[in-house]
């Protein structure tokens, strides 16, 4: 469904920020993209949805179904966004309009892509809020983003992303800005929702234990290049690249520190 083939992204000076990156995600797959800050994760995500920042150029190919997200017409790419691929980012406030109540924001893509109106639209908005385990859906639907907690905002952003039943969800550090208990709830929620709807997932994070919760086949990105690709269980058990080993070792040290206090 998603094919990224030799993707290279350069800045104005011609420096490669992402270099020769190839991977694919099939229907219902859950791919992980893991790497430290500045390794090119977000630029790869933006290239996948065909929204690279100005001044950056991409070569290679990104295809979502039949549509080229790099070379295709903008009109075709717009049609794909929301309907075929949807996104959840680290900071839900970037996805949400501060001046619009949450309910209206969820209604917008549903109206556009599912052509619902009136009571059917209202019911679909409430069903979307229910699905992300937000209770008191009337109040939440009427609330502006600043009236919601960080966790509630991310649930609204997930509801918006999934309301049109996209085939692929790109989640770029969706839990990084949340505290750990909320983080675990949101990961469980994503896990359940993509399972229920058979949505494919491209899950991007700097955090190996977080990737281990939801991703399957995982690619390790370092300085813009993929240095290792393997099922997450293999990466954890037998990291082949020295950088992956560093990631695994530091996650284990963290675990061991917890273990010392718990034993
Ligand atoms: N709009 C831009 N113009 C020029 N360079 C950019 C732009 N956006 C990102 N970069 C550079 O590209 C590289 C990769 O950035 P990217 O945001 O993809 O990293 P990341 O792995 O997502 O990191 P983080 O987790 O901190 O967001 C970095 O060196 C960054 O400085």
Residue 231 in contact with ligand 1 by CB distance below 6 A: no
pLDDT of residue 259: 75
Alpha-carbon torsion, ordered 110, 49, 181, 184, to 10 deg? 90
Ligand 1 atom closest to Cα of residue 54? 1
Residue 38 CA to ligand 1 centre (angstroms):
5
Ligand 1 atom closest to Cα of residue 221? 21
Q: Give the mean pLDDT of 82-110.
A: 92
pLDDT of residue 263: 66
Residue 97 CA to ligand 1 centre (angstroms):
24
Q: Provide ipTM, 2 decimals.
A: 0.95
Which CATH superfamily is 2-262 part of?
A: P-loop containing nucleotide triphosphate hydrolases (3.40.50.300)
What is the per-residue pLDDT across 100-123, written as a single tens digit (0 to 9) for each? 999 999 999 999 888 999 999 999
Helical H runs in 15-149? 41-48, 74-80, 92-95, 102-114, 118-131, 137-142
Is the pLDDT at 65 greater than 70? The verdict is: yes
């Amino acid at each position: 469904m998603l094919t990224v083939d030799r993707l290279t992204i350069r800045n104005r000076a011609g420096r490669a920020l992402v270099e020769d990156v190839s991977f694919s995600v099939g229907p219902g797959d859950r791919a992980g993209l893991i790497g430290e800050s500045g390794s090119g994760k977000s630029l790869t995500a933006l290239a996948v949805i065909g929204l690279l920042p100005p001044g950056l150029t991409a070569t290679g190919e990104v295809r979502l179904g039949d549509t080229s997200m790099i070379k295709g017409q903008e009109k075709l790419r717009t049609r794909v966004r929301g309907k075929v691929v949807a996104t959840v980012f680290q900071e839900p406030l970037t996805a949400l309009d501060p001046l619009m109540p949450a309910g209206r924001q969820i209604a917008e893509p549903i109206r556009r892509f599912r052509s619902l109106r009136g009571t059917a639209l209202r019911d679909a908005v409430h069903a979307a809020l229910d699905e992300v385990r937000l209770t008191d859906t009337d109040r939440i639907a009427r609330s502006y983003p600043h009236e919601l907690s960080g966790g509630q905002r991310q649930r609204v952003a997930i509801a918006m992303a999934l309301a049109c039943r996209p085939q692929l969800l790109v989640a770029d550090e969706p839990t990084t800005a949340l505290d750990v208990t909320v983080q675990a709830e949101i990961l469980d929620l994503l896990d359940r929702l993509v399972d229920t709807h058979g949505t494919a997932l491209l899950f991007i994070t700097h955090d190996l234990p977080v990737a281990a919760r939801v991703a399957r086949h995982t690619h390790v990105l370092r300085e813009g290049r993929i240095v290792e690709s393997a099922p997450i269980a293999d990466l954890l058990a037998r990291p082949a690249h020295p950088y992956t080993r560093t990631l695994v070792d530091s996650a284990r040290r963290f675990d061991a520190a917890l273990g010392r206090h718990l034993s």
